[in-house]
Amino acid sequence: MTRKTLTIMAMLLCTCLIIGLAGCTPKAPDPQGELSAHDDMESIIRFGRDWPTYIDPGVGSSYTCQVAHANLYDPLVFPNTDGTVRPHVASEWTVSEDGLTYTFKIRQDIKFHSGNLLKASDVAFSMNRLLTIGEGFSHLYHGVVKECYAPDDETVVMELNYTFGPFANSLVRFYILEEDLVMANIDKSVDTYGEYGDYGKTWLLTNDAGSGPYKVKEVRLEEYVMGERFDDYFLGWEENAPKNFMVTNLNDPVAQRTAFANKELEIARDNLPQETYAEIEKMGGLVVTKSATGGWNMMLNTKNAPTDCVYFRKALAYAFDYDTLVASILPGSAKSTGPVASVLFGKNHDLPGYEYNLDKAREMLSKSKYANDPDKWFVSLAWCAEVPEQEKMSLMFQASLKELGITLEITKTPFSVMTANAQTIETTPNASIVLWSPSFLEAGDVFKSRYHSASTGSWEQMEWLLDEELDAMIDDALSTVDNDERGRKYRAIEEYIFDLCPTIWMCANDSKFAVQPYVEWPIATYYKENVPALMPGGFDLYFRDCKVFLDKK
Amino acid sequence: MANANDKANCQGTVVKRDKFIQLKRAWYKFSLNKTSVIGLVIVVAVAICAIFQPWLAPYPHHAGEFVDFANVNCPPCKEHWCGTDGVGRDILSRIMYAFRGAFTLGLGCLALVVPFGVVMGLIAGYHKGQWISTFIMRVTDVFLSIPPLIMALCVCAILRPTLFNSLLAVSVSWWTWYCRLVYSMTSSLRNEMYVKSAELTGASTAHILFREILPNCFGAVFTKMTLDMGWIILTGASLGFVGMGEQPPIPSLGTMVADGAKYIPGQWWISICPALAIMIIVLGFNLLGDGVKDMLSSEE
């Protein structure tokens, strides 16, 4: 081989490798290609974020799983946009005087996708299955529900172990499955759940047993879940409602933008870089900001040095530049003043919130037990690899802490690794940035899921508070039926947590979404017109309420 | 006595002149290939940037803990020749700083793998047919069967992602190529007359390996080293691209390409500029390596 040939080959190889490196972004699946094989596929809403691994409501709990659940199944009660709930599968309910027995009347006109009528026994079966499996949103009812049974086809009784104030609100996460269908598809070759085998978990990975507005049409593992309209849905259909929906693993910002430009994506996900939203807006997309029910949290490990010292944690909280965050990194977001979002029931509006003040940070640092030991001023921070904006937050924080002489080591960590690291105190970093939203719209869920000892060892609480006094306060508040009293207790708890400063409450999760101009998405309309609208995760993408105008496509 | 000194001085001068002529001849042969000269110029320029970055870079502090949200995503302009990134840092300054990491990785890796690989190759080649040779070469085969990038990724995933660990990770699989190269040369050179003569005169194995055989392998090893620099830097960039290289805020070319990829095509400069920098540095070393190879082969 001549020298010239070798040189040319080397140059070509280098160019290919560099172009390859630059272009090594995850390849977007080709939903349009897949869809073209189907009829009637134009009337579709596609949403890309991640693949909803568990469309079984007894198992899944991630955001895209919640989206799939809300569209494939019916919950016992349905959330309103003001944070309250309304009858849905349960047409009405009564609570006993002691607050321990809930009696639900079940609608008799609801059909499952199989064509069978929904009965009270299906409701009881679904609750017992959820509690037995112990995954998904079972933590909301585990220990609370003592017994669930159906005395007749129209009535379901739930007896509680103790009074649980927000019980009715929490039932938006309780979906009904068809007992006969699930039981016909259980895998008895395994005995995970005794006589129930696998309780239908394997079958429900790719099938549904629900009565929701959509039924599963196709599940391609690791890629997407596609649902088609269930024509016999008990609430009926309006004109232009989408005939299909798809939740795909289309996650990468470049892939999202490209799919949006090609009209292969109707709703672009939250937490894309601001630059991507700007480009989508240029394409004619409607970018809306969703009201926050949760927030951006920098969870501080309260058991590992140096973040085990409350003054050190407060120094960190005062060294975070909240104004720049909401002005430049997450424009449109509101600052947080504590663990509870300002729109949730039970929020303590008297809390001042932490502010960016390096003098105060130095003062706190001087009170810290590590004040005279600068060698220990080393903080490890993990940011979630799937959310690019978190790197900017980390770098900004790193630059601030440098002013104080604190070393911040930043590590880009995939969420799966973050979850694994959260399982022990030792492997949990000093700080972890996590976006968190409550399961139902009350401060009680924030406290129970984020700061109660029961949630340690999960990604939801990397603070490792393990504070018995706080646990008792939370349990007491949650068992209070009277709303005013419960609200008062919530406010006291928030103040208590605020003083411990286990978290840097960076800002509210006023996430942006983008929607195609030919799609009408009621929630987006609310957001655009600044109408207060709160929906638990998943229900904000309730596709039945959307419209697709094919003539505008 | 004076005569003896004069004679020694005269001989020294002749030796120096011979070396100078040899060097001149080598340079002449090297410079015959213009692309090799371009390669040398690129490598020298990059090395100067890497060494004198604090003085040459327009914004040296942008390579550290620095953010400037007033200047984010600024396209290439007079103030920022390569533009700024998503947190307002000057990309050119960061590229120049990243060159330092790339050079450290390349040189550090070669400093580890070449001595080890060469010694292993010498031993295996000289003792060809014996158990020690079989053992070394089979271990080499095992390491060669694993793609270097995959191996490096595994090592980096186990250790903390830092420049030093990237260096170790790349080195783990890279020594095998030197071992193979020197093994094949040694197994042929060991039958040469001068080696046999040394054996007959009772020279030690170490003497034969390091004084008789090794000098004859220098040319090939040196050529490979020059060519490998580019590949090692590219492997390091690949590690950085998947987040296993230097961690923020320390600039790394691969990390910069990855960070900018999500803004393509809108803010193309964030990714393309460091990608071009990788291309230039790899190209420079490859062209230089070509020239060195030609120079040494023509001398032989």
DSSP A397-444: HHHHHHHHT-EEEEEEE-HHHHHHHTTSTTTS-SEEEEEE--SSSBHH
d(Cα A334, Cα A332) in Å, to the nearest integer? Answer: 7
How many CB atoms are located within 10 Å of the residue A149 CB? 15
In a domain, A356, yes or no: yes
pLDDT at position A2: 54
Residues of B in contact with A398 (CB under 8 A): 65, 248-249
CB contacts, 8 Å: A392 with chain B:
67, 86-87
Q: Which of B69, B275, B290 sits opposite A21 (nearest CB)?
A: B275
Chain A nearest CA to B244, separation (Å):
9
Measured distance CA(A308)–CA(A334) in Å, rounded: 28
Structure-block tokens of residue A119: 């009965």
| Residue from the list A385, A394, A409 with its beta carbon closest to the beta carbon of B243 | A385
- Cβ–Cβ gap A399/B66 under 8 Å: yes
Residue A66 located in a structural domain: no
Min distance A8 CA to chain B CA atoms (Å): 10
Residue with tokens 């017992």: A128
- For testing contact with chain A, the best of B29, B65, B290 (most A CBs within 10 A): B65
Nearest residue, CB atoms, A275 vs list B66, B73, B87: B73
The domain spanning residue A449 has which CATH number? 3.10.105.10
Q: Where does a domain end: A473, A489, A508?
A: A508
The answer to whether residues A79 and A124 belong to one domain is: yes
Q: Would you say residue A196 lies in a domain?
A: no
Report how many domains make up chain A. 3
* Closest by Cβ to B262, choosing from A11, A388, A398: A388
How far is residue B37 from each of residues A1, A162, B295, measured CA to CA in Å? 20, 83, 12
Q: Both A503 and A400 in a single domain?
A: yes
Would you write out chain B's pLDDT as a tens digit for each of its 300 residues?
Answer: 556 666 666 666 666 777 788 778 878 888 888 888 999 999 999 999 999 988 999 999 999 888 898 898 899 999 999 999 988 999 999 999 999 999 999 999 999 999 999 999 999 999 998 999 999 999 999 988 888 788 888 887 788 778 888 888 888 889 999 999 999 999 999 989 999 999 999 899 999 999 999 998 988 898 899 889 999 999 889 888 887 888 888 899 999 998 888 888 888 999 999 999 999 999 999 999 888 888 877 655
Given this model, what pLDDT does residue A204 score? 96
pLDDT at residue A214, as a whole number: 97
Tell me which CATH code domain B98-299 carries.
1.10.3720.10
Residue A383, domain member (yes or no): yes
A412/A310 same-domain check: yes
Cβ distance of B247 and A412 shorter than 8 Å: yes
**Global pTM?**
0.74
Closest CA–CA distance from residue B234 to any residue of chain A (Å): 8
Cβ B62 vs Cβ B93: under 8 Å: yes
Direct distance between the N- and C-terminal alpha carbons of chain A, in angstroms, rounded to an integer? 56
* Domain identity same for A324 and A389: yes
Question: Per the domain annotation, does A59 fall within a domain?
Answer: no
- Residue B7 is predicted with a pLDDT of 64
Q: Examine the domain organization and report whether A451 and A529 are in the same domain.
A: no
A459 in the same domain as A394: yes
Length in residues, chain B = 300
- For residues A432 and A418, state if they share a domain: yes
**Count of other CB atoms within 10 angstroms of residue B115:** 12
If we measure between CA atoms, which residue out of A157, A153, A133, A154 comes closest to residue A145? Answer: A157
- Does any domain span residue A282? yes
Range of the domain at A400: 295-508
Q: CB under 8 Å to A154, separation ≥6 — which residues?
A: A105, A106, A108, A120
Q: Give the strand pairing for A378-384 and A407-413.
A: parallel
Q: How many CB pairs under 8 A join A and B?
A: 111
**Pair (A179, A90) in one structural domain:** yes
Please say whether the beta carbons of A389 and B263 come within 8 A.
no
pLDDT of residue A23: 47
Cβ atoms of A213 and A71 within 8 Å: the answer is: yes
Contacts of B240 in chain A (CB under 8 A): none
Per DSSP, what are the bridge partners of residue A295? A436, A508
pLDDT in tens, B258-291: 888 888 888 899 999 999 999 999 999 999 988 8
Contact B65 A327 (CB under 8 A): no
CATH number at residue A522: 3.40.190.10
User: Which pLDDT value is given to residue A251?
Assistant: 84
Return the C-alpha torsion angle B45, B49, B55, B61, nearest 10.
Answer: 160
Q: A411–B73: do the CB atoms touch at under 8 Å?
A: no
Nearest to A21 among B87, B237, B262 (CB): B237
Query: Residue A423: inside a domain, yes or no?
Result: yes
Query: Are residue A234 and residue A309 in the same domain, yes or no?
Result: no
Please tell me the distance in Å from A61's CA to the nearest CA on chain B: 28
Among A472, A487, A508, the domain-final residue is: A508
Q: Which of B238, B243, B283 sits opposite A412 (nearest CB)?
A: B243
pLDDT averaged over 10-residue windows placed end to end, chain A, 553 residues? 57 56 46 48 89 90 92 96 90 93 96 97 97 91 93 96 91 96 94 92 95 95 93 95 94 89 92 87 86 86 95 96 91 87 89 94 95 92 88 93 93 86 93 88 90 89 95 93 92 96 90 90 80 81 94 83
Residues A429 and A529 in one domain: no
How many CB atoms within 10 Å of residue A163? 16
Cβ neighbors of B129 (< 8 A, separation 6 or more) are none
B162: closest CA of chain A, how far (Å): 10
Strand partners, A248: A48, A224
Quickly list DSSP for chain B. -HHHHHHHHHHHHHHHHHHHHHHHHHHHHHHHSHHHHHHHHHHHHHHHHHHSHHHHSS-GGGGSS---GGGTTPPS-SS-TT-B-TTS-BHHHHHHHHHHHHHHHHHHHHHHHHHHHHHHHHHHHHTTTSHHHHHHHHHHHHHHTS-HHHHHHHHHHHS---HHHHHHHHHHHHHHHHHHHHHHHHHHHTTSHHHHHHHHTT--HHHIIIIIIHHHHHHHHHHHHHHHHHHHHHHHHHHHHTT-SSPTTS--HHHHHHHHHTTTTTTTHHHHHHHHHHHHHHHHHHHHHHHHHHHHHHH-
List chain B residues with CB under 8 Å of A412.
Answer: 243, 247-248
Which chain B residues touch A390 with a CB distance below 8 Å? none
Name residue, tokens 């996900």: A269
How near does any CA of chain A get to the CA of B144, in Å?
21
Would you say residue A6 lies in a domain? Answer: no
ipTM over 0.85: no
Q: Which of A362, A243, A342 is nearest to A292 (CA)?
A: A342
Task: Give the separation between CA B50 and CA B94, rounded to whole angstroms.
Answer: 11
- Residue indicated by tokens 């708890």: A493
Do A160 and A303 lie in one domain? The reply is no
Residues in chain A with CB shorter than 8 Å from the CB of B73 are 275
Which residue in the set A6, A22, A328 is minimally distant from B271, CB to CB? A22
Domain boundary among A166, A184, A202: A184
Residue A142's Cα: distance from chain center in Å? 20
Closest CA–CA distance from residue A256 to any residue of chain B (Å): 10
Could you tell me if A328 and A340 lie in one domain?
yes
